[in-house]
């Protein structure tokens, strides 16, 4: 069985609410070009706040529409705790 097709990209913080549409559009363009099955998202240094979790959930939703899933890399413990606290640990992995 061949390895899944992957891409890697980074998200830098701080993320502001008005950044979300552009961030999602850029990631969708990446997904359309490469048709990956898994997208690794490096989030080192991303703030642990509700806007960041919202952004990551939106990215996961956009990826799913393209037949892909997003996996976080280098997420801080605080960010992962907030994702879990918000009940999104099954969405944002």
> Does the pLDDT value for residue 82 go beyond 80?
yes
pTM of the model: 0.88
Q: What is the CATH number of the domain that holds 71?
A: 3.30.750.24
Q: Is residue 69 part of a domain?
A: yes
The string over 25-56, giving b where at least 16 C-beta atoms fall within 10 Å of a residue's C-beta and e elsewhere, is eebeebbeeeebeebebebeebbbeebbbbbb
pLDDT digits (tens, 9 = 90+) for 30-60: 988 878 999 999 999 899 999 999 999 999 9
pLDDT digits (tens, 9 = 90+) for 56-77: 999 999 999 999 999 999 999 9
> Does the pLDDT value for residue 13 go beyond 90?
no
Q: Is residue 91 part of a domain?
A: no
Q: Which domain holds residue 43?
A: 6-85
Q: Is residue 39 part of a domain?
A: yes
Cα 72–chain centre separation: 6
């Amino acid at each position: 069985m061949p390895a899944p097709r992957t891409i890697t990209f980074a998200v830098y913080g701080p993320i502001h609410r008005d950044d979300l549409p552009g961030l999602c559009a850029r990631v969708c363009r990446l997904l359309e070009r490469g048709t990956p099955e898994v997208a690794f998202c490096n989030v080192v240094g991303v703030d642990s706040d509700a806007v960041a979790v919202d952004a990551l959930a939106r990215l996961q939703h956009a990826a799913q529409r393209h037949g892909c899933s997003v996996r976080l890399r280098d997420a801080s413990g605080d960010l992962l705790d907030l994702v879990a606290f918000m009940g999104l640990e099954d969405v944002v992995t």
